[in-house]
Amino acid sequence: MFSSSRRGFLRGLVGIGAAGAFAGCFSIGKSIGDRKIRLAAVGVGGKGYSDWTPMLKTGMAEMVAFCDADRTIYESCIAKAAKDGFGDLSKVPYYSDYRDLLANAGALGIDAMTISTPDHVHAAVAIQAMKQGIHVYVQKPLVRTLWELDYFNKTAKEYGVVVQMGNQGSSLDSMRRCTEVIQSGILGEVKEVHVWTNRAVWPQGTGVANYVKSRGDKGDPVRNGLDWNAWLGPAKDRPFLDKYPKGTKVYDPWKLGENVYHAFTWRGFHDFGAGAFGDMACHTMNLPFRGLELAGVSDAECIKIEQKNDIAYPSKSIVKLTYKARKAKFGQNAGKTLAPVTLFWYDGYDEDKPAKSAMKPSAEIMPKVLATYGEIPNTGCYIIGSEGAVLMRDDYGAKCDIALNADAKFIDVFKHPAAIAVAHAIPLCKAPAAEGGDQKSTVEMKGFAEGHYGEFLRAIKGIGPVYEQTNSRCFSDIEYCIPQMEGILVGCVAQQVEGKHVWDSKSQSFGDAAANALVKPYIRKGFEF
């Protein structure tokens, strides 16, 4: 095994063949050069479509394979791609079972892969792909369980592949700029962070559990075109359930929950997804995690929960995470010991209110936010320091504001005099002339060719800056996304098991048996990885 710095060097240069001399240790060593990257997409529709299409927009990639358990979705996406100007892709090989795709990856000459499936399949596909030297762009959450996270980390390091997690806000200039402003120490000592989201927007809670239990072993006819066995992947076998009958009482604040499992509504199930926490914390915790250099999570406790059950995530929750003291590596605080941080996570909606008010921190915590905006945004994060605070007013970090103690109101991070004085350290994705608050083009989530997607492809080719914070040309490589995901997944365990749970990353275990039972996923025979 190479050291982390050596691995980072190889990941940064793999596109120009730097790993070729180590072919005996790595399965990679493909020299991309000036040719196009041969790309496969696992999960073609929905988020998948907005992952592989922007890669084609860059002009650096070509599609060589598609895989989706639902042929109907695949066919609709191929038709849409033709209308969107990507040409006729109907002759590109298609697979319904990812195992068949992986078995043919060598013959197809796959260099890189987008993985945009339900969460429970991420690790199974990505780990087997990485073992073949395939670079992976994996949608958030990177994996669903802590055991998978550790396995993913070890595999990525062993095979030296390029990894990028799909939290696209990482490539926003405002996110990067606010990260280095926080790392400057401008907020003083930070001990408390609040992060909240307007999810879940799919069914969760006891109504979901009651309906599934009421069906027992009786399923619905599998839809035409759906390979249910492949969709389940490593998860426990169970009958397909199609749609909730009219009048079924389930927590569904946005009324998007017609389907039980597929499509989209799988995320609320423990066996398939990671709930609102796994869905959105990779975005909304991004800024505090980077800016405060949060690393080791020490414990987690769900301090408020509604509709807790053993099948689906709760309708509402507040999770308290504690992050350990650590030595700062970046900015003006480099070398200093940073205080432990308590991070509060909020998810869920109050369905009784007409406005569908999302769970948020209390107004007493952020009076200056109310003075500036008149309300607390429905999603965001609030970082509280001894000398000031930072507010992120969206999911991805496009709207980052700062207020020092002497300020009456919050000011855009690009316009605050004290923030402007902080030296630039993290390379930005856009020219400096584009700075300044309203960055609609870079926050576009339907697929922008610059930013996150292009960065992944350029890293494979060995193009672009090597980020000091990740030892890689990807800003959401494993140096970053593994420790961030660890805290999120520890929080997901706390949502399922009552009490305070102490996590030991070194031994990969909790201090209690009930929590430890959730560390490793069930892996169905025939889907081992």
Highest mean pLDDT among 57-61, 188-192, 396-400: 188-192
CA distance 66 to 100: 11
Topology (CATH level 3) of domain 4-169+450-480: Rossmann fold (3.40.50)
Q: Average pLDDT of 150-170? A: 97
Listed range (12-21, 125-134, 181-190) with the worst mean pLDDT: 12-21
Band of residue 353 on the pLDDT scale cut at 50, 70, 90:
low
pLDDT-derived band at 350, boundaries 50, 70, 90: confident
Residue predicted with more confidence, 234 or 3: 234
Residue 236 has pLDDT above 60, yes or no: yes
- For residue 322, what is the DSSP state? E
pLDDT tens profile 485-505? 999 999 999 999 999 999 999
How would residue 26 be classed by pLDDT, with cut points 50, 70 and 90?
A: very low
CA distances to 53, 57, 59, 138 from 449, in Å: 9, 6, 9, 17
pLDDT at 221 over 60: yes
* Average pLDDT for the chain: 90
Give the model's confidence band at 25: pLDDT under 50 very low, under 70 low, under 90 confident, else very high: very low
Domain with CATH 3.40.50.720 in the chain: 4-169+450-480
Kindly state the average pLDDT of the residues 171-191. Answer: 95
Identify the band that residue 451 occupies on the pLDDT scale cut at 50, 70 and 90.
confident
pLDDT at 33: 86
Fold of the 171-201+273-430+485-512 domain: Dihydrodipicolinate Reductase; domain 2 (3.30.360)
Q: What is the pLDDT of residue 30?
A: 59
- What share of the chain in percent tops pLDDT 90? 84
**Nearest Cα to Cα of residue 143 among 292, 291, 282, 1:** 282
Token reading at 487: 């805290």
Most distant CA atoms of the chain, gap in Å: 64
**pTM across the whole model:** 0.92
What pLDDT sits at residue 222? 98
pLDDT at 14 over 60: no
* Cβ neighbourhood burial of 205 (10 Å; 0-12, 13-18, 19+): buried
Q: Which of 91-105, 223-237, 464-478 is predicted with the least confidence, judged by mean pLDDT?
A: 464-478
H or E element, residue 67:
strand 61-67
pLDDT of residue 19: 34
Tens digit of each residue's pLDDT (9 = 90 or more) over 254-302: 888 899 999 999 999 999 999 999 999 999 999 999 999 998 999 999 9
Q: For the chain, where do the domains classified as CATH 3.30.360 start and end?
A: 171-201+273-430+485-512
Nearest partner of 292 among 372, 437, 193, judged by Cα:
193
- Taking residue 513's Cβ as centre, other Cβ atoms within 10 Å add up to 9
Q: Is 185 left (phi over 0), alpha (psi -120 to 50) or beta?
A: left
Query: Pairing mode, if any, of strands 337-338 and 163-165?
Result: unpaired
Confidence of residue 433 (pLDDT cuts 50, 70, 90): very low
**pLDDT at residue number 428:** 85
Model pLDDT, residue 256:
83
